[in-house]
């Protein structure tokens, strides 16, 4: 029964992804922390993203309802100018990099994305947007390592970049051992509208 439930649902979120150059720049900055804290559960660089709306576990049949409305939203939006900046932690367990740039535009986009999801009849936990990129979790490492790694990012300022696509993402979170893996269900290029 549990396998049937898992096969019939998918953990879903809507996000922006930094370009490879921005992620590589941050990865270089993190290299000392990777070496110093190898037992932290580091997210894969290809999975780094900025969550706009976390929808949680959805029936697989609900996911197609989002495609057209999200594509339409992306077609009317301009790119958002952002940068990765600094670092911090949530409860000494989760290491993150901060987001800088057009934060007003980012918040407006997140509000519009969440409105689209609600219009599709999909209920989700609407936590306030706290723009960040999750990098690692303490795992078996002493939680103070997360605080130290965050302090090592305090002066980091990444190059500016444009978020050019809106991503509908699925994950295998909670589905067995190993790291969390994400995959694009679909992504839409922003169309340059108002």
Tokens 């995959």 belong to 183
Query: Which of 32, 53, 47, 59 lies closest to 168 in space, CA to CA?
Result: 53
Query: Which of 33, 32, 37, 30 lies closest to 141 in space, CA to CA?
Result: 37
Structure tokens at 136: 């690692």
Catalytic residue among 89, 107, 132, 167: 132
Query: Which of 35, 44, 50, 46 lies closest to 141 in space, CA to CA?
Result: 35
Specify whether 89 is catalytic.
no
Specify whether 107 is catalytic.
no
**Pairwise CA distance, residues 22 & 83, whole Å:** 8
| Angle, CA of 152, 128 and 191, to the nearest 5° | 90
Catalytic residue among 49, 89, 107, 167: 49
User: For residue 160, how far is the Cα from the chain centroid?
Assistant: 18
Which residues does the annotation mark as catalytic?
Answer: 49, 132
């Amino acid at each position: 029964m549990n396998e049937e439930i898992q096969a019939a649902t998918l953990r879903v979120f809507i996000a922006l992804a930094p370009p490879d150059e921005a992620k590589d720049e941050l990865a270089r900055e993190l290299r000392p922390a990777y070496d110093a804290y190898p037992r932290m559960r580091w997210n894969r660089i290809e999975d780094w993203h900025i969550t706009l709306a976390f929808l949680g576990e959805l029936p697989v049949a609900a996911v197609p309802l989002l495609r057209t409305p999200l594509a339409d939203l992306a077609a009317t939006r301009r790119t958002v100018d952002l940068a990765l900046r600094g670092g911090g932690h949530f409860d000494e367990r989760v290491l993150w990099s901060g987001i800088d740039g057009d934060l007003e535009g980012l918040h407006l986009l997140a509000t519009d994305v969440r409105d689209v999801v609600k219009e599709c009849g999909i209920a989700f936990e609407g936590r306030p947007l706290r723009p960040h990129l999750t990098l690692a979790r303490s795992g078996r490492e002493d939680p103070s390592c997360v605080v130290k790694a965050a302090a090592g990012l305090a002066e980091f300022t990444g190059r500016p970049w444009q978020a050019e696509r809106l991503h509908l993402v699925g994950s295998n979170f909670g589905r067995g051992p190993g790291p969390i893996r994400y995959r694009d269900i679909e992504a839409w290029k922003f169309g340059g509208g108002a």
